[in-house]
Amino acid sequence: MWPSARSPTLAEMEEMAHDMFARLPQTFRALCEGVIIRVDDFPTEEVLEEMQAETEFDLLGLFQGVGLPFQSHDNTGQPPNMIWLYRRPILDYWAEHDETLGHIVRHVLIHEIGHHFGLSDDDMEAIEAQVKD
């Protein structure tokens, strides 16, 4: 197995993220309508600066947009809400911890969706506990 093992590509990790999203509770997913999930190797320089990250490996994911509690019908012309997962930092984290890659992707995805809802860490942990591997 190991001689053929390799890191997932951007497309494979994005597919994994969409698969993990499909496993979330339906009521939770329904509230995420219109949220776009994307995977990139690293955050942009602008994001790193805005988040005051020391290195490009400091961020595993990011929610960009207007969180659900702050949305109004007057928000016209806004870009869509997006959740970014950053492949290389996630792979680096995976290499240093005893968790499956799928678990880490699911955790980051739920955490970033939690920002969309304005959820607490306890709320996010409860949602994550409902998801089957």
pTM metric for this prediction? 0.84
- List CB contacts of 100: < 8 A, sequence separation 6 or more: 133
Per residue in 119-129, pLDDT tens?
788 888 887 88
For the chain, list the strands marked E by DSSP.
36-40, 61-64, 82-86
Q: Cα separation of 3 and 63, whole Å? A: 36
Q: Collect contacts of 92-96 with beta carbons under 8 A, ≥24 apart.
A: 92/57, 93/60
Q: Which residues in the chain land under pLDDT 50? A: none
Q: What domains, with CATH codes, occur in the chain?
A: 8-64+79-130 (3.30.2010.20)
| Integer Rg of the chain from CA | 15
